[in-house]
Amino acid sequence: MTYGSGDFRPSGQIQFGVFFQGVNSGTIWKVPEAGSQTDFESFRRVAQTAERGLFAAFFLGEGLRLREHLGRIHELDVAGRPDAQTMLAALAGVTEKIGLVATQNTTYNDPADLARRLASLDLLSGGRAAWNIVTTDNAWTGENFRRGGYLDHADRYTHAEAFVRLAKEIWASGPDGASPARTVRHEGRHYTVEVAPSLPPSAQRRPVLFQAGDSAEGRDFAARQADVIFSAHPKLEDARTFRADLVDRTVAAGRHPNELLIFPASEFILGATEEEAREKKAWLREQQIGPQQAIAFLEQFWGRSLAEYDPDGPLPEADPVVEETNETRGSGFHGARARQLADQWRAEAKDKGLSIRQFVTSQSARRDASFVGSYESVADHLAEYARDGVVDGFNISPWLIPSGLDDVVNHLVPALQERGVYPDEYRGSTLREHLGLKEPSRA
């Protein structure tokens, strides 16, 4: 398969990462098999299982404040998401090879401080650290900081770019063998700083850079600055469109298209047979979209409480209260779009005879990132991705913690290895080596 402009070459292999989501996710915490979202034991168990399966990386997201819903704390969310870098530092001590990826935003951090903390993780893990760069798309997080919910969407990426350039310069300027540290001076719209970097380069020189953010600005930013993009496009056709788009953007940024890897977010629902996997999926969706979750989903778009509606009844006749929906307070639609959407959804649900809960389940199916089937059939499907080169790997969100990765590692990984599309061993000791990325030059 050829993609976009330039001479993109498929590697013929795929790799895995694991995204321990914690809160706000498809992870089910209310079943007896679920562990704790804060105990170190959960993180250790998942990271070590992933390492047994030769996963390239273990990811943690970032949520600095509890999510809000209709202007209040979202009561259906699981609370508790330990700081990523602290948790990864502890995991560095109980793992040997796996990459450790911390999601950290550029909107509220400071470059010299974050660069130093990431370099510390990189040194202490022997060159296994990575930074998943996000700009964070909500203003409630901003309220944690003196600056408040500052920076418009477009500004977030110019700010992020200045931040990341500065961090790279700091990492390239630390004391290195015979060469002393160089002072980094930067004067610009976003920062005026003078930094004397105190840490030498790690075994992989500097942390690997991931990027997660899907707008045109986010993609261009990744094309210029990132090593890996954590995408939201796992399904084959969609992933192909995304790859072609990123190849074009990477070439336009003056880089070789193979310099930017793609790892989409994904969910695996596996079984010994197709039927077992399908049954598991039906059960899982029931757990993920309970009656209260279905109502809360609609409330995001209606901008008001819908507690009086029966989740097993029809969609609300009442119109959305658009004045109360606010982009920074929830992820619903606003203004005329909310009313239009409500009309469209009511018509669709009526037409198909769907209750609120059934309708919400069908909506979430559109964003479905799941691979469902027997180990053998899913391995065949993923082998097609590998041959095509459409993605470089998958970032798997286990829906059950801490055992949710066991069947991937025990059954899917060997099936992929048999097909020659998954590594048989770690290529080296650093994350950069596992991913086959070039060493950054000393700027």
Ligand X SMILES: Cc1cc2nc3c(=O)[nH]c(=O)nc-3n(C[C@H](O)[C@H](O)[C@H](O)COP(=O)(O)O)c2cc1C
Note the residues at the interface with ligand X (CB under 6 A): 61-63, 103, 105, 134-137, 212-215, 217-218, 230, 232, 265
Instruction: Provide, rounded to whole angstroms, the least separation between the CB of residue 380 and ligand X.
Output: 26
Count other Cβ atoms within 10 Å, centred on residue 289: 20
Instruction: Provide, rounded to whole angstroms, the least separation between the CB of residue 265 and ligand X.
Output: 5
Tokens representing 278 are: 């399908």
Nearer to ligand X, 230 or 302 (CB): 230
Nearer to ligand X, 184 or 212 (CB): 212
Nearer to ligand X, 105 or 225 (CB): 105
| Helices within 173-273 (DSSP H only) | 216-225, 236-252
SS3 state of residue 186: strand
Instruction: Provide, rounded to whole angstroms, the least separation between the CB of residue 229 and ligand X.
Output: 9
Given a contact cutoff of 8 angstroms between Cβ atoms, the answer to whether 330 and 300 are in contact is yes
Nearer to ligand X, 141 or 430 (CB): 141
Instruction: Provide, rounded to whole angstroms, the least separation between the CB of residue 96 and ligand X.
Output: 26
Instruction: Provide, rounded to whole angstroms, the least separation between the CB of residue 273 and ligand X.
Output: 31
Cis bond upstream, residue 402 (ω within 30)? yes
Which one, of 285, 292, 443, 426, lies nearest residue 367 by Cα?
285
What count of residues does the chain have?
A: 443
Q: From residue 383, give the alpha-carbon distance in Å to each of 234, 378, 413.
A: 14, 9, 11
Instruction: Provide, rounded to whole angstroms, the least separation between the CB of residue 105 and ligand X.
Output: 6
Nearer to ligand X, 137 or 376 (CB): 137
Q: From residue 82, give the alpha-carbon distance in Å to each of 36, 43, 76, 207.
A: 12, 11, 18, 21
Nearer to ligand X, 134 or 184 (CB): 134
Nearer to ligand X, 173 or 300 (CB): 300
Instruction: Provide, rounded to whole angstroms, the least separation between the CB of residue 251 and ligand X.
Output: 20
Q: Which residues, other chains included, contact 359 with Cβ-Cβ below 8 Å and sequence gap of 6+?
A: 294, 315, 345, 348, 349
Nearer to ligand X, 265 or 409 (CB): 265
SS3 state of residue 230: strand
Count other Cβ atoms within 10 Å, centred on residue 388: 16
Given a contact cutoff of 8 angstroms between Cβ atoms, the answer to whether 378 and 273 are in contact is no
| Helices within 64-215 (DSSP H only) | 84-92, 111-124, 139-142, 153-172
Instruction: Provide, rounded to whole angstroms, the least separation between the CB of residue 71 and ligand X.
Output: 19
Q: Which residues of 395-419 are buried (b: 16+ CB within 10 A; e: fewer)?
A: bbbbbbbbebbbbbbebbbebbeee
Instruction: Provide, rounded to whole angstroms, the least separation between the CB of residue 214 and ligand X.
Output: 4
Nearer to ligand X, 67 or 337 (CB): 67
